[in-house]
Structure 1
Amino acid sequence: MPQDFQKDKPIYLQLMTQLSSEIIRGERKAGDKLPSVREYAIEAGVNPNTMSKTYKELESMGVVEFRRGQGTFVTEDYNRLEKLRTQMKEEYIESFIKDMKELGFSAKETLDGLQSYYEKEDDG
């Protein structure tokens, strides 16, 4: 099913984030075969060249690996996957903190808000 993409960010970067998130959440596990570029492009509603660029970028990061004649697979390098997980966490935290600062919240207000949120979530 075609996706809605943000207009201010290249589609291949959004696809990289989506695929990386699926890997981190365990929806795609180490060693799993990914759909072909053409299949995934149809599924996402994008040009195959965009999907190819997504796979190539993830391969250059060591997140996926291309096996000639077999396709593209999630890496089985667990250290690399843990590094990806940590990197994404840091990027999301950095973005969140930046947004909170722009809204005028102090570090204490932000931390108190997070604490309160997690306490409510644990109770629910």
Structure 2
Amino acid sequence: MTLRVPLMLHIATGDPRPIHRQIVDGVRRLVASGDLPVGAALPSVRGLAQQLSINPNTVAKAYGELTQEGWLDARAGLGLFVAVPRQRLSNEERSRRLDDAVQRFVGDVIGLDYPNATVLDRVAGELEQCQPRKLA
């Protein structure tokens, strides 16, 4: 029997990211934290679109990106499932994307005038939330 896990995503209308990006980022976080375990079945495109009150094409775009990146496996006639973790990008591409993300982040926060330690603590806290949870 397939493990069905509800996909608890929150779409914020005030978020500057497009809705499909919010879905992609949300699923990545849920998978990285272990809240969506390997093999878990995701809701159908239509089901998630109804749950979030959004266009099914938006969900399909997000699911397509997650599948292409290796976060999800598409199984013909069965749906989408959380994929077994693997290195999805080459080391060079990973490094390039990290550099890009850091540059964007620094550009966004530099004008907020927080001490470096405060910014680093906040980033560390967010990253900690994405670490797999250990079960006792």
Residue 92 of structure 1, CA deviation:
6.8
Provide the rounded CA distance (Å) in 1 between the counterparts of 2:57 and 2:80.
15
Listed as ranges, the matches of 1:1-124 within 5 Å are 3-6=11-14, 8-80=16-88, 90=98, 95-105=104-114, 109-110=115-116, 112-113=117-118
Question: SS where residue 78 of structure 1 aligns?
Answer: coil
Residue 116 of structure 1, CA deviation:
7.2
Identity of aligned residues (%): 27
- Structure 1 length as normaliser, TM-score? 0.68
Unmatched 5+ residue regions in structure 2?
1-8, 125-136
* RMSD, aligned CA: 3.3
With over 3 angstroms needed to count, the CA separation of the structure-2 counterparts of 1:103 and 1:59, relative to structure 1, is: same
Residue 104 of structure 1, CA deviation:
3.9
With over 3 angstroms needed to count, the CA separation of the structure-2 counterparts of 1:5 and 1:24, relative to structure 1, is: farther
Question: Does the 8 A contact of 1:65 with 1:73 survive in 2?
Answer: yes
Q: How many residues align?
A: 110
User: Larger Rg: 1 or 2?
Assistant: 1
Unmatched 5+ residue regions in structure 1?
119-124
Provide the rounded CA distance (Å) in 1 between the counterparts of 2:120 and 2:82.
35
Residue 71 of structure 1, CA deviation:
0.5
Residue 2 of structure 1, CA deviation:
7.2
Question: SS where residue 87 of structure 2 aligns?
Answer: helix
Indicate the structure with greater helix content. Answer: 1
Provide the rounded CA distance (Å) in 2 between the counterparts of 1:114 and 1:9.
21
Question: Does the 8 A contact of 1:30 with 1:78 survive in 2?
Answer: no
Deviations 1:51-100 (A, max 9, x none): 111111111111111110110011113334xx9xx89xx57755543333
Runs of 4+ in 1 over 6 A off after TM superposition: 115-118
